[in-house]
Structure 1
């Protein structure tokens, strides 16, 4: 699911609010009398809406929280970032001392006082604190210190020259600012968010909905939407029916050609958005026989990426060959990937003493975005004598179990911002990110821990100031990862959302739904 909600963004809910249109403005398209919107997500509940931990479907934090900077409406990019809670920023000649001037007059929700530099310092240090264990800590690792100069000025010093620092402080994951007062007062941000954004928390109904109301005192202007409701609907068909019947105005949609076509035929607008998750298989080197590269090559060579893309549809998916997704700075397809060759795969299995067949078992999420491609791969592997048992569990359980090392093979879809090799390659392939370590992230293969990996290359790239040299280091890392066959990049699958034609977003959703002061419901 992709519903990034930024400054002056998001407004999905249910209800009624009469708005008076400016004279002569809405002759062709008049506003609907009721301006409450409903949005259905593909989850049965939330795990947390604490912005420094929230990674799951349905956990919409952007209506509440903001960063020092903001994405352009509807677009995830490293460039063209806008002022958010900071009005201006600059870096000193030393290249490591940054000064951010903060917006005055911003209030925290529900009486938690003024937004100040103390909140910025508190938030950054909270994300970085190992005891807090935010999954986004690595994204702010370049920050050495945060100093409050005055209530509306903060100085950030980096431990190395980091030109992309502003992009790390955007309204995204570790860049969100939380209220120091609220946290220290004991407010549980997991279920009761306190932010500065255009919408405030009203009610959470477990396994049913989140209800938000507009922030009348929002610094960017009072939102037109009075409240919205986010409904939990894990079943794809139920969400589609709710949109068709008019019970909601937008839904998360499975990114499959047939589903997209069906919604379009029903008169709905379908938005396909990127950058999106690249899906890969990661081989757990701790599990036999995956410690044998011949077995890994056999499994990799039995996967036909073109068939996976055809299954999902050319509009929604594209094949990937490299461990770093296409479109990221440093990406290259010049890697020694294992081509599709079922007969070669059979020969490799025989050479590895598995000519009589191989049995594997793995847990898999019941989420369509994970289960469907794994079922296709299951059939592909059957053709070379590999019987894969899929033990289907709910999505939160899947995420818990794969972090307990239960799987010989993990399927995982991810995108990481900023769109460079630093965070993506580090999280999946650096030894410090191996599952089970205190610094664990997404290294399900234990690459670099079980066999030598790419730690040195990634560490050098992280501190390299010459971008051309930095790119070459990332390219070399991709080639080594591919040569060792610790993962099989499969495809990038776009995010899909469907909405009623009555929902006018006010901007083109290239990467996410940016719902702002121009967003409206039409008659």
Structure 2
């Protein structure tokens, strides 16, 4: 059986001015400024970036073979981008992608070809320097350039969602072989095919992009896109209200949402969003004691944490795999709030006179306030939690140096199933300190039981019911061990000036996507 998807270019190319907006309605100055809640970039190499503040930069520069509909992360409605069509043969293991003709790399690096796709996917899977997102491509056996505009990808078994793995989300972004061989540093100087191209970078200040005059999808109306690094939420809010920036992420709290609306800003609440979890570092005392882990879990009022942000903005999570992901189950050990039992467990563990913990904590308005709430909750059960507040980049460094006994971490992982999420947080090879370290802060698999076999079997399981059960069993093991304490999922909150017309509704992502459709109105 052959599966073919062909969509015309007209389905994804928007006119520079939409119906109902006349040229005289456009602002004379088409410079869009976006505020992001980081103090600087770590890298804008999409294959290695794990930061949300970097995403609007590389998303405006790079493109993938396949893309989500703009403003969404809907894998059921994939659209052509650098590929115009794709099909799989009758075995279900050989995919052929037909590439878009006439696409040019920025700054004179020549035409986009199949060789760039081969280079990109080999780069992601480089065993000596693998991307932290490389696990998505584990089923890929080979990538071949059939000719300049045709790519053949062969997989180990049937992978029906392969196009969804190659979408505009980190590993899907295609990079120029010629730029890489020319020594261009992708960490700070991206070369892509998208509607905007690198113009300049000022450390700890801003990253500026200029409109790509040769963009295959049409020349953008916006002449420049400036991403400004603004780690302080109050500063971003004031700058937005004052008209100094046109859009920003804002704290996902009801008061922030109401404040923006009262000042005439448009607010977008988006999902899927980060689930926040307390990772219990079982390699450090006293967290190595399961009674202590259980006490901390029972001393955490997760419903109160969700209500802290507002009823419309957050909801309680009960399992290590977020609700809404394929494979999520509630059939796991439940850790309902019980401070009396928490105090008893601490006493039984030899901490009847109290317990002191010290952790580094990010100054981010996403991390610090909820951790301060947890600090008060734990004080009520006899735990003195000392918060050593550091900037957000330092926090990410410290938690990867295995210094925190507990780690607060918010994460969203694509695709929305157990494949990536469970691998990155609970596979033993992803444990902090390992060569393939990602975000296994609990050290599960190195300490206590392992879910490696369950995760690996599920990744290649074609029977969906069996796959879901494997993921469910992994979640039960994780919760029985109390390797983590699931807390809440918090929708993203974004605000923008009514003058910024993106050209589509923003339903997903944690920061605004600026494309060739965007324009500033008077």
**TM-score, length-normalised on structure 2?**
0.94
Partner deviation per Cα, 1:47-75 (whole Å, 9 max, x = no partner): 11111112224212101001110011111
Q: Return the alpha-carbon distance in structure 1 between the equivalents of residues 96 and 117 of structure 2.
A: 12
Corresponding residue for 1:321?
A: 318
Corresponding residue for 1:38?
A: 33
Partner deviation per Cα, 1:14-50 (whole Å, 9 max, x = no partner): xxxxx9979x944799222322211111111111111
> Paired residue for 2:185, among 151, 167, 188?
188
Q: Measured at CA, do residues 326 and 38 of structure 1 come closer, stay the same or move farther in structure 2, by a change above 3 Å?
A: same
- Note the C-alpha offset of 1:246: 0.9
Where does 1:132-147 land on structure 2 (aligned, <5 Å)? 132-147=129-144
SS at match of 1:369: coil
Q: Return the alpha-carbon distance in structure 1 between the equivalents of residues 138 and 454 of structure 2.
A: 17
> Paired residue for 2:106, among 97, 106, 109?
109
Corresponding residue for 1:369?
A: 366
Q: Return the alpha-carbon distance in structure 1 between the equivalents of residues 257 and 424 of structure 2.
A: 32
SS at match of 1:157: strand
> Paired residue for 1:255, among 252, 255, 261?
252
Where does 1:228-377 land on structure 2 (aligned, <5 Å)? 228-377=225-374
> Paired residue for 2:124, among 112, 127, 134?
127
Corresponding residue for 1:453?
A: 450
Q: Which moved more, 1:151-160 or 1:512-521?
A: 512-521
Q: Measured at CA, do residues 149 and 323 of structure 1 come closer, stay the same or move farther in structure 2, by a change above 3 Å?
A: same
Q: Return the alpha-carbon distance in structure 2 between the equivalents of residues 144 and 353 of structure 1.
A: 53
Corresponding residue for 1:4?
A: none
Contact 1:447–1:486, Cα closer than 8 Å, also in 2? yes
Partner deviation per Cα, 1:86-134 (whole Å, 9 max, x = no partner): 1111111222111111111110000111111110011001011122232
Partner deviation per Cα, 1:253-282 (whole Å, 9 max, x = no partner): 111111111111111111111101100001
Where does 1:419-438 land on structure 2 (aligned, <5 Å)? 419-438=416-435
Contact 2:291–2:346, Cα closer than 8 Å, also in 1? yes
SS at match of 2:434: coil
Runs of at least 5 residues in structure 2 that lack an aligned partner in the other structure:
1-9
Corresponding residue for 1:13?
A: none
- Note the C-alpha offset of 1:161: 2.0
Q: Measured at CA, do residues 309 and 360 of structure 1 come closer, stay the same or move farther in structure 2, by a change above 3 Å?
A: same
SS at match of 1:62: helix
- Note the C-alpha offset of 1:487: 0.2
Corresponding residue for 1:3?
A: none
Partner deviation per Cα, 1:279-327 (whole Å, 9 max, x = no partner): 0001111111211111111000011111111111112211111100111
Q: Return the alpha-carbon distance in structure 1 between the equivalents of residues 23 and 58 of structure 2.
A: 35
Q: Return the alpha-carbon distance in structure 2 between the equivalents of residues 477 and 133 of structure 1.
A: 25
SS at match of 2:231: coil
SS at match of 2:489: strand
Q: Which moved more, 1:30-39 or 1:378-387?
A: 30-39
Q: Which moved more, 1:224-233 or 1:131-140?
A: 131-140
Partner deviation per Cα, 1:452-475 (whole Å, 9 max, x = no partner): 121121111111101111111111
SS at match of 2:287: coil
- Note the C-alpha offset of 1:517: 4.3
Corresponding residue for 2:6?
A: none
Q: Return the alpha-carbon distance in structure 2 between the equivalents of residues 26 and 308 of structure 1.
A: 44
Q: Does 1:441 align with 2:441?
A: no
Corresponding residue for 2:43?
A: 48
Q: Does 1:176 align with 2:173?
A: yes
Q: Does 1:150 align with 2:174?
A: no
Q: Measured at CA, do residues 420 and 36 of structure 1 come closer, stay the same or move farther in structure 2, by a change above 3 Å?
A: same
Partner deviation per Cα, 1:197-251 (whole Å, 9 max, x = no partner): 0000011111111111111111111111111211111111111111111111111
Contact 1:8–1:220, Cα closer than 8 Å, also in 2? no
Q: Return the alpha-carbon distance in structure 2 between the equivalents of residues 154 and 123 of structure 1.
A: 12
Q: Measured at CA, do residues 26 and 182 of structure 1 come closer, stay the same or move farther in structure 2, by a change above 3 Å?
A: closer
- Note the C-alpha offset of 1:334: 2.0
SS at match of 1:183: helix
- Note the C-alpha offset of 1:83: 0.5
Q: Return the alpha-carbon distance in structure 1 between the equivalents of residues 337 and 174 of structure 2.
A: 46
Q: Measured at CA, do residues 269 and 20 of structure 1 come closer, stay the same or move farther in structure 2, by a change above 3 Å?
A: closer
Q: Return the alpha-carbon distance in structure 2 between the equivalents of residues 51 and 8 of structure 1.
A: 26
Q: Return the alpha-carbon distance in structure 1 between the equivalents of residues 336 and 200 of structure 2.
A: 52
Corresponding residue for 2:518?
A: 519
**TM-score, length-normalised on structure 1?**
0.94
Q: Measured at CA, do residues 256 and 29 of structure 1 come closer, stay the same or move farther in structure 2, by a change above 3 Å?
A: farther
CA RMSD of the aligned region, Å? 1.9
Runs of at least 5 residues in structure 1 that lack an aligned partner in the other structure:
1-6, 10-18
SS at match of 1:378: helix
Contact 2:362–2:368, Cα closer than 8 Å, also in 1? yes
Contact 2:328–2:471, Cα closer than 8 Å, also in 1? yes
Where does 1:12-27 land on structure 2 (aligned, <5 Å)? 25-26=20-21
